[in-house]
């Protein structure tokens, strides 16, 4: 269903590009393409047909766009932004822990410190310290 609507949408887009490029320039841009009555249709008849065709194609473009966005919303609905599952196999000792495995800062805060212990406050220095080069 979605593939068919995408194909219709692409055909509407290509047709709309073609119809817009066929329309006569009103501003006169660089002075080209605006003169002479030697076209295959009169300027008034061409303007009416192209204007109506553009309006119809624009309406079809909006309908197919809305349909595609509604279908995209129905197909994939995430249950949560945050992943809550924990991996079953522990990671290697030197490897960083994956999301949700309990090694993150938020997990440590949730448990009340690191590893379930009470959080320790940093100790204040006894006096002023001078930076040392190493």
Instruction: Give a three-class secondary structure readout of the chain.
Output: CHHHHHHHHHHHHHHHHHHHHHCCCCCCCCCCCCCCCCCCCCHHHHHHHHHHHHHHHHHHHHHHHHHHHHHHHHHCCCCCCCCCCCCCCCCCCCCCCCCCCCCCHHHHHHHCCCCCCCCCCCCCCCCCCCCCCC
Taking only the tens place, the pLDDT of each residue in 45-90 is 667 888 899 999 999 999 999 999 998 888 766 666 676 666 555 5
Taking only the tens place, the pLDDT of each residue in 3-44 is 999 999 999 999 999 999 988 776 655 555 555 554 555 556
**pLDDT in the model for residue 62:** 97
**pLDDT in the model for residue 86:** 60
Taking only the tens place, the pLDDT of each residue in 78-130 is 666 676 666 555 555 555 555 545 566 777 777 765 554 555 666 777 778 88
**pLDDT in the model for residue 100:** 47
**pLDDT in the model for residue 134:** 74
């Amino acid at each position: 269903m979605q593939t068919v609507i995408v194909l219709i949408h692409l055909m509407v887009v290509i047709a709309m590009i073609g119809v817009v490029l066929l329309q006569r320039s009103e501003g006169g841009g660089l002075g080209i393409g605006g003169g002479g009555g030697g076209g295959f249709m009169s300027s008034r008849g061409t303007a009416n047909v192209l204007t109506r065709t553009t309006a119809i194609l624009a309406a079809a473009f909006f309908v197919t766009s809305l349909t595609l966005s509604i279908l995209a919303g129905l197909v994939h609905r995430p249950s949560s932004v945050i992943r809550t599952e924990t991996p079953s196999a522990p990671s290697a000792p030197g490897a960083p822990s994956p999301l949700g495995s309990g090694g993150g800062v938020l997990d440590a805060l949730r448990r009340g410190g690191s590893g379930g212990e009470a959080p320790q406050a940093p100790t204040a220095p006894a006096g002023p310290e001078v930076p040392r080069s190493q």
